[in-house]
Structure 1
Amino acid sequence: MATTGAPPARNVWTALIGGSIGNLIEWYDWFVYSTFSVYFASAFFPKGNPTAQLLNTAGIFAVGFFMRPVGGWLLGRLGDRKGRKAALTTSVTMMTASALLIAVAPTYAQVGYFGALVLLLARLLQGLSIGGEYAASAAYLAEASKPGKRGFFSSFQMVFMKVGQLCGLAIQIILQHSMSDHTLHSWGWRVPFVFGAFAAAGIYYMRRRMVETEAFDEEGTANRERGTLRALFRYKREFLLVVGFSMGGTLCDYMYSTYMTKYLSNSAGLSKDTAALVSFCAIIVFIFLQPLAGALSDRIGRRPLLIFFGVTATLGTVPLMTALKGVHGFGDALALMIVGLVIITGYTSISGVVKTELFPTAVRTLGVALPYAIANALFGGSAEYVGLWFKHAGIESAFFWYATGCCAISLVVYIAMRETRTVAFSSQDRTPEQVDA
């Protein structure tokens, strides 16, 4: 049996960075696609209604999510059979290639719809990579964490996700202030994707030096069914729990991230610069909330935080989004957005660790990846498209009621599910009583 094991205490933070930093690139790439689509939508589709062009690019954005279940299956199987490190290294390699494809994609004026096809292929490749990245990262972080601090350390997965979004926003703000609107529409929108490709390549080399977790090494490779669908479907209840568990949370997460900047500028009437600055400041607050909530879950359990999210999101989504539509300046928009982000912290800070705690080591990566990817494809990836579709149809408020219904269903799941905080992954975090048993 391998002896590398989980990193010792002095290297936990090294493992944390290596295991979670790919999520930074994930959210950076997906966020810059969403936010910079207002600049490149006209480059890949014929001139016409700007909202229709945005719908086309949002459609490609959503299609990428439907590759997540495939990526979740492929990389989830790889992570359970060959190790979390193998899955994490493969996913970041695919991220590099997809970012480069978008950066060099030809425009409609140059090659017609072929440019949109290249854009679509890049999004499909990103969907494959991200379908496995989230689960492999969640499994690695949870298994490498110190006993009793799994919620705290795992919350950094969301921290890095939002740092990636913050980096995307920072580049957007810098480019908006250093380039003319014409330049951004012409070629400036390509710059963030070039940065993303180089950053992903750097993370690849970092991950090649990672060590495997103790839980994976203890499991061994003798079990031929590890990482297979047959083994996973022995846990049908847990599979369905992850889908229902993720439905409301992933929808609200994308609603307050990729959709919010457009909502503030397209519906509330704020300038693009102001909308981007509001999101930037709110996400800084959100980042600091994640480890605090993760640490709280290590003390009081995961379910209280999830139920807090479910109740407040079900009751507060419609009034909060309605109030945001009526804001007149930076301060009001920032305050209301922070309220929304406090609500979804009950989900985002611990969603990864709860999913890993539902499955055994042999199918942990696949068990997180596949059902979460399905929920993300159906509810998270489609959030922006559904919101724009309702707006295009003249009934934008219906999107808020749709989100409320999804949150209500998830709340039922949170109330019905068991507490997972005390689940042991390996000998490093088993109590004496669990070892004796």
Structure 2
Amino acid sequence: MTQSEPLPVDGERPTGPGRAPAPRSAVRQIAAASVGNAAEWYDWYAYSYLAVYFADQVFPKGSGNSLVPLLSTFAVFAVGFFMRPVGGLLMGAVADRYGRRTALTATILLMGGGSLLVALTPTYASAGLLAPVVLVVARLVQGLSVGGEFAASTTFLVESAGPGRRGLFSSFQYVSTTIGQLFASGVAVLLVHTLTGRQMDSWGWRVAFLIGAAISLAGLWIRRGAQETRSSVPQQAARPGLFEAVRRHPRESLLICGITAGGTIAYYTWTTYLPTYAQVTSGTDKGDALLAGTVSLAFFAALQPLGGLLSDRVGRKPLLVGFAVGFAALAVPLLHAVGDDFVSLLIVQCAGMVLLTGYTSVAAAVNTEIFPARVRAAGIGFPYSVTVALFGGTAPYLGTWFKESGHPGTFPWYVAGLCLLSACVYLTLPETATRPLDR
């Protein structure tokens, strides 16, 4: 501690760039990361929920096939998904070079701008090919933002935590993600039940994206008052290069991939694809499937802080191993247990959510504790986003493809296999919960 720094009073940690905030500012730090993350994922899921309403407005039908607009819309969704690694790399570099708060400001501005652009996308009838071009640009911007958001908010959350609280702070990454998903679902349901079908097709779907832009503005205001957790790189020190994390820390980069592979396939299977899986494999009623998915997501959000607190007491490794071994052993019987009724689906989803919490509640903390502060955000963002795009983003498509090819029972084994692979990685990890965090 230099002479110019004030001494701590009554055990209070000193605050300032690069230090964990005092307890009185902890709530503001969590809110700053969470509100932006929720806004990001609200916009991301609103697109998938409402695509069926604006597909015909933006894309022309081809050869009389009414599915062409919807397929084109989901193709644009996939393009946005694969922009996430670029966002993780670029925004992660911004966070490492200029500070976490700067990157968080950039990501929420990009998401709000992308959401506004979707809301203002012209129809194909009025603008021709310009309509799908505008939508593609909007999704590219949003994909860039989502990839960068995880890199920046993960490091920001965990660096904001005091000693013995990194797991708890880490858990809010998925609390806010789930809240954003639930809010998107709620807004979509409210619009569908309030407006007529013609109103939804013509302008109703735009309302959801205008709401997203407004949430982003609120998030921007909250983030502007947050405390920076790491100052920008001093002028006399060379700023980290774009690929420095991968080049100088290849083992850590591969560890991020191994840690993420099983977790992301389990996450997207249980939180996004399972209602559809129940419908196509067991004939579950669509309404029952959506209700079970909504209830289980709320249950999942409530579990996250409990998992984070537990990891601060017993360590990250026991939770990760418990998740991976549990899914490797139970993914197949659980997915085969999905029946055509609401109760069986809800039980399977909630059981999976309990196991999944072993990964989601500590993933941000584990990732952050692996890399040194100099390249932490980019070091996490790029390999994490690549792995999510390869395994998480493709989960619904592979599950449907296995079903259509006559092998629906293969998909559960695929999920179990990836979780077993991650279990092997978790067993080799050192325990990082009690280590001081490099700042």
The more displaced of 241-250 and 392-401 is 392-401
Deviation at 1:423, TM superposition (A): 2.4
Match of 1:404 in 2: 416
Match of 2:332 in 1: 318
Residue type of the partner of 1:179? L
Q: Does 1:259 align with 2:302?
A: no
- Inter-partner Cα distance in structure 2 for 1:45 and 1:398: 36
Q: Secondary structure at the match of 1:155?
A: helix
Sort the Cα spacing of 1:137 and 1:226 in 2 relative to 1 into closer, same or farther, 3 A.
same
Deviation at 1:407, TM superposition (A): 1.7
Contact 1:88 1:136 (8 Å CA) reproduced: yes
Q: Does 1:422 align with 2:415?
A: no
Q: Does 1:28 align with 2:38?
A: no
Any gaps of 5 or more consecutive residues in structure 2? 6-14
The more displaced of 221-230 and 202-211 is 221-230
Q: TM-score, normalised by structure 1?
A: 0.89
Deviation at 1:255, TM superposition (A): 1.9
Deviation at 1:242, TM superposition (A): 0.2
Contact 2:31 2:222 (8 Å CA) reproduced: no
Q: Secondary structure at the match of 1:250?
A: helix
The more displaced of 377-386 and 101-110 is 101-110
Match of 1:240 in 2: 254
Sort the Cα spacing of 1:99 and 1:156 in 2 relative to 1 into closer, same or farther, 3 A.
same
Identify the match of residue 80 of structure 2 among 64, 69, 79: 64
Sort the Cα spacing of 1:71 and 1:202 in 2 relative to 1 into closer, same or farther, 3 A.
same
Q: Does 1:46 align with 2:46?
A: no
Q: Secondary structure at the match of 1:147?
A: coil
Sort the Cα spacing of 1:120 and 1:314 in 2 relative to 1 into closer, same or farther, 3 A.
farther
Identify the match of residue 154 of structure 1 among 149, 152, 170: 170
- Inter-partner Cα distance in structure 2 for 1:306 and 1:337: 19
Identify the match of residue 355 of structure 1 among 360, 367, 379: 367
Contact 1:136 1:365 (8 Å CA) reproduced: yes
- Inter-partner Cα distance in structure 2 for 1:266 and 1:182: 29
Deviation at 1:315, TM superposition (A): 2.2
Q: TM-score, normalised by structure 2?
A: 0.88
Matched ranges for 1:13-412 at <5 A: 13-43=27-57, 44=59, 46=61, 55-111=71-127, 114-213=130-229, 216-217=230-231, 220=234, 222-226=236-240, 228-265=242-279, 267-324=281-338, 326-328=339-341, 330-412=342-424
CA RMSD of aligned residues (A): 2.5
Contact 2:233 2:239 (8 Å CA) reproduced: no
- Inter-partner Cα distance in structure 2 for 1:95 and 1:164: 13
Identify the match of residue 9 of structure 1 among 23, 37, 41: 23
Sort the Cα spacing of 1:96 and 1:343 in 2 relative to 1 into closer, same or farther, 3 A.
same
Deviation at 1:29, TM superposition (A): 1.4
Sort the Cα spacing of 1:186 and 1:321 in 2 relative to 1 into closer, same or farther, 3 A.
farther
Identity of aligned residues (%): 43
- Inter-partner Cα distance in structure 1 for 2:89 and 2:438: 24
Any gaps of 5 or more consecutive residues in structure 1? 428-437
- Inter-partner Cα distance in structure 1 for 2:71 and 2:407: 15
Residue type of the partner of 2:340? V
Match of 2:11 in 1: none
- Inter-partner Cα distance in structure 2 for 1:311 and 1:51: 41
Q: Secondary structure at the match of 1:425?
A: coil
- Inter-partner Cα distance in structure 2 for 1:103 and 1:302: 41
Contact 1:61 1:381 (8 Å CA) reproduced: no
Deviation at 1:166, TM superposition (A): 1.2
Sort the Cα spacing of 1:275 and 1:185 in 2 relative to 1 into closer, same or farther, 3 A.
farther
Residue type of the partner of 1:188? G
- Inter-partner Cα distance in structure 1 for 2:210 and 2:289: 24
- Inter-partner Cα distance in structure 1 for 2:127 and 2:331: 43
Residue type of the partner of 1:13? V
Deviation at 1:247, TM superposition (A): 0.9
Contact 2:263 2:419 (8 Å CA) reproduced: yes
Deviation at 1:219, TM superposition (A): 7.0
Deviation at 1:416, TM superposition (A): 1.7
Sort the Cα spacing of 1:56 and 1:396 in 2 relative to 1 into closer, same or farther, 3 A.
farther
Residue type of the partner of 1:405? G
Q: Secondary structure at the match of 2:434?
A: coil
